Structure 1
Amino acid sequence: MTISSSTRHTFWEAEFQDNRVGYAIGDIHGCADLLELMLERIELMERPAKQRKPKLIFLGDYVDRGPDSRRVLELLSSNRLDAFECIFLLGNHDAAMLSFLNYEPQSEAWLSHGGLDTLISYGVAPPPVGAPQLLVHRAQAEFDRAVPDEHKQFLKQLRLIYISGEYLFVHAGMDPTRCLADNTAHDFLWIRRPFLESKTPLPYRVVHGHTPVTAAQFHPQRIAVDTGAYATGVLTAVRFSGVTTTPIEVRRENSSKDARWFETNDVKMPEPRRYFP
């Protein structure tokens, strides 16, 4: 399968230096069907090359909002990914799920920002909105029993950042007013406007999700990859090979077309809905 040169972006000459092809995959948010399509797409693109395993860098937010968070974690923690070398980053929703599993104070706020969908995917009846703490704690205990140890371990080992050459991969971004070493987990997981609107030079070109866009965006200092899969039905990745970056999309397709995926310039993206943090 060929990729049109019109989809290539090399105006900011950052280089991916893992001596292989890499893919940054945006926020999955419980869309197991789109994750499986993306993996199939990458396998078809890379299989003829017979090179080192492609490196997949997942930008976090595997759970919440979409219909099948459990299946997403099953895929990511299984041998389905043996054909790849994988880096898994932590997203704010993944961190919130861990907080709920750990019975941390006020962690029930997660339920109103997508956590209800995750509970349901594990067969746990969510507590009513505004339920007393006793009912919330019961739901936490049931959820704790329902989540396999493999899923918990997967979430606990997620990384905050990954660096390759001149690229920094992270869920949300970084605080441009501080050096990288002084950034906090909160910065990496939650930052928006101070990072997105900054003109301050950064030490790396940052590849991030967290803030939804209608299609992958390529800026001189950053690349945005989250296309709101749970709301739009479109999951996006960016392929890295040396200094060349190429956006890749998979989407749910209800037409009679045989192909289940399309290049970025072949589809018209819907306008995004309102998104919570």
Structure 2
Amino acid sequence: MRSYAIGDIHGQLARLRAAHALIAADRARVGDDAAPVVHLGDYVDRGPNCRGVLDHLVQGLAAGQPWILLRGNHDRFMQYYLRPGCPPEPARPDLDWLAPSVGGRETLTSYGVETGMYPDRAALHAAAMRAVPDSHKALLDALLPCYRRGDVFFCHAGIRPGVPLADQVEDDLIWIRGEFLDDPRDHGVLVVHGHTPVARVTHYGNRVDLDTGAGYGGPVSAVVIEGREVFLLTPEGREPVTPKGAA
């Protein structure tokens, strides 16, 4: 069972297009136009062209691309900011989407909303509501918390170990780190996730991390998964991603 997956994007439209081009080249080699492409979330924040990324995704879905779009924590930040009253991200009310460490200001700038030009947060929020197209708001609302295909479970951040997959909650699926990253047990599926940056796509045996730091200038990585075998897509073709410590 073949699936493609793309890690965190963070407004890097050119790198997202390059990842899709690598997938198209692999499809041409194996003769497969139907295998889904699972995007692991974090489409916005920090990078230069968040609007362009959401435009690209909206257009691809409208054209019938077999794309699965999952929700990342940064996407939920934006989703909640664009609601009436500008509520905080529910799992992290201590974090402000417009804080420099989060990256919401870069997202608004990509829509032509310069955050320093408004007298208060209410005026800035009103400008953001006008600038972000309804199609982008609808896309954010339609993102999936997770996706399973065969023996592979896709989510943005990870799962709560020991909790059945059907009972996982979105706060964990888009935010969890230590409890999941440090757990070596077999989860019954191969968990493919992003959220925690690594230098290169890394297979830990029970999970595979695809976040290669696009939010900090790194690449947007794409893989193809055959059963539970993982291959990084490169301009030269497939490169096996083997579990750490495997011979």
TM over 0.5: yes
Aligned to 1:14: none
Within 5 Å, give how 1:4-15 maps onto structure 2. Answer: none
**CA apart distance, 1:242:** 3.1
Cα offset, 1:66, TM superposition: 0.4
Q: CA RMSD in A?
A: 2.2
Q: Tell me whether 224-233 or 135-144 shows the greater mean CA deviation.
A: 224-233
Pick one of 55, 79, 82 that aligns with 1:101.
82
| Counterparts of 1:218 and 1:227, CA distance in 2 | 13
Give, as a single letter, the amino acid of the residue that structure 2 aligns with 1:166.
D
Counterpart of 1:185, as a letter, is E
Tell me how far apart the structure 2 counterparts of residues 236 and 81 of structure 1 sit (CA, whole Å): 23
1:22: how far off? 1.8
Partner of residue 210, structure 1: 195
Report the alpha carbon displacement of residue 262 of structure 1 after superposing the two structures with TM: 5.9
Q: Is the partner of 1:207 in helix, strand or coil?
A: strand
Counterpart residue number, 1:268: none
Count of residues in correspondence between the two structures: 231
Superposed displacement of residue 104, structure 1: 3.5
> Is the 1:25–1:238 contact (alpha carbons within 8 Å) kept by the matching residues of 2?
yes
Aligned to 1:111: 98
Give the distance between the partners of 2:79 and 2:61, measured in 1 at CA. Answer: 24
- Match among 29, 34, 37 for residue 15 of structure 2: 34
**8 Å CA contact retained: 1:206, 1:222:** yes
Q: Distance in 2 between matches of 1:72 and 1:236?
A: 15
Matches within 5 A, 1:62-81: 62-79=43-60
Shift of 1:188: 0.4
Is 1:194 the counterpart of 2:191 in the alignment? no
Of 124, 148, 161, which aligns to 2:146? 161
SS in 2 for 1:110: coil
CA contact (8 A) 2:22 2:222 kept: no
Pairwise CA distance, 1:48: 4.2
For 2:232 and 2:77, how far apart are their aligned partners in 1? 29
Q: Please identify runs of 4+ aligned residues in structure 1 that moved more than 4 A.
A: 261-265
Q: Displacement of 1:185 after TM fit? A: 1.0
The answer on 1:236 being equivalent to 2:221 is yes
Distance 1:65 1:28 in 2: 10
| 1:179 CA displacement | 2.2
Give the superposition deviation at 1:54. Answer: 3.1
Structure 1 residue 98, shift from structure 2 partner:
0.7
Is 1:57 aligned to 2:46, yes or no? no
Give the alignment's TM-score, normalised by structure 1: 0.77
1:182 offset after TM fit, Å? 2.9
Tell me how far 1:78 sits from its aligned partner: 0.1
Give, in whole Å, the separation in 2 of the partners of 1:83 and 1:180.
Answer: 28
In the alignment, which of 122, 127, 130 is matched to residue 111 of structure 2? 122
User: In structure 2, the residue corresponding to 1:234 is in which secondary structure?
Assistant: coil
1:172 aligned counterpart, secondary structure: coil
1:127·1:135 contact (CA, 8 Å) conserved in 2? no
Q: Deviations over 1:97-141 (max 9, x none)?
A: 01110133345801111101000000001148xx9xx71111111
Alpha-carbon distance between aligned partners in 2 of 1:36 and 1:55, rounded to the nearest angstrom: 16
Given the superposition, is the C-alpha separation of residues 177 and 49 from structure 1 closer, same or farther in structure 2, using an over 3 Å criterion?
A: closer
- Compute the displacement of 1:77 (Å): 0.4
Unaligned runs of 5+ in 2: 90-94, 240-247
Secondary structure of residue in 2 paired with 1:248:
strand
Which is worse superposed, 240-249 or 201-210?
240-249
Aligned counterpart, 2:242: none
Give the Cα–Cα distance (whole angstroms) in 2 for the partners of residues 235 and 184 of structure 1: 26
Structure 1, gaps ≥5 residues long = 1-16, 250-260, 266-277
Matches of 2:15 and 2:110, distance apart in 1: 16
Q: Are 2:5 and 2:38, in contact at CA under 8 Å, matched by a contact in 1?
A: yes
